[in-house]
Copies of this chain bind each other. A is one copy, B any other.
Amino acid sequence: MQDGIGVTDRPDISPAEDKTPGSREKGLNRVLEIFEFLHTTQRAIGIGDLAKGVNAPRSTTYTLVRSLVDAGLLEMAGDGNRVYFGKKLYLYGMDYVRGNDLLRRGRQEVDDLSRQTGETSELCMLQSGRYTIVHSSPGTRPFRISSATGLQIPLPWTASGRLLLAGLERADIEDMVSEDDLVLPDGRRLKLDDFIADIATAKSTGYCVTSGLVDAYTKCLAAPVFSVPGKVEATMCLVVPIDTSREKTDELLILLRQRAARLSIAA
């Protein structure tokens, strides 16, 4: 029997870290795992496969899914055998946006910046210790470099990561960065000390530029957004081709930092 039937066109999602082999799991935790799983797969999935994916008993999964569908947090997708996120989650998400000035205004600034420059622009935040793209606006290049909203990437891979950690103690930083995080997609390995030095530099200069980190073709410009003075709440960033000229880069950096500063004012 082949495992992971039906989703084998993906790197086969790791079957959820088995904590204690046959141990019972709290229903709520199962639900949280289901959400994360759906978030990573980004598509509707059959209940059987879902059970496999989150490593939960089939019977339990059926029960939970039914509850969630009844509540509207999940919905049965088109053909009636797969589930995905539901309207309720969208509504709650909009509630969050409404209650969150920074996000609401940040989305606007990002969209404007992207229209103004034609480049891909993103709003990034820390999400439970990980770098997260919270909003992204594609830009107008023929081959745009897009990464999905909600994508989580190791902090050391990004310019924003260096800014988001500015002001933290060394110990805190070590806690948030695993060994694996220091290995870039192309196999190169960053030194933790270099990363920490980068953070200090970013903090003092008030911006950060990285080249060819996540991939060989892009450069990433990032500027901090402060909630209270000194506390970096988010970053705005621009993703541009790596061969963008020095002058052009500086010009973009000015626009970027202006908008990031504007966002900081009344947060």
Contacts A85-B92, A92-B89, A132-B87; is A98 near B28 (CB within 8 Å)? no
Contacts of A134 in B (CB 8 A): 87, 90-91
Beta-carbon nearest neighbor of A103 in chain B:
B90
CB <8 Å contact, A67 and B29: yes
Q: Which of A70-108 contact B (CB under 8 A)?
A: 70-73, 77, 84-99, 103
A32 part of interface (Cβ distance < 8 Å): yes
Does A128 contact B70, Cβ atoms closer than 8 Å? Answer: yes
Q: Which listed residue (B26, B77, B149) contacts A94, Cβ 8 A?
A: B149
A-B CB contact pairs (8 Å), 14 listed: A26-B27, A28-B64, A28-B67, A32-B67, A32-B71, A35-B73, A44-B99, A84-B95, A84-B96, A87-B96, A87-B127, A89-B95, A93-B94, A98-B149
Q: Are A91 and B150 in contact (CB under 8 A)?
A: yes
B-contacting residues, A6-46, CB 8 Å: 26-29, 31-32, 35, 38-39, 42-44
A42-B99, A90-B93 given. 9 additional CB < 8 A pairs?
A27-B28, A32-B71, A32-B73, A85-B95, A87-B125, A87-B127, A89-B92, A89-B93, A91-B127
Question: Size of chain A's interface in residues, with CB distance under 8 A?
Answer: 44
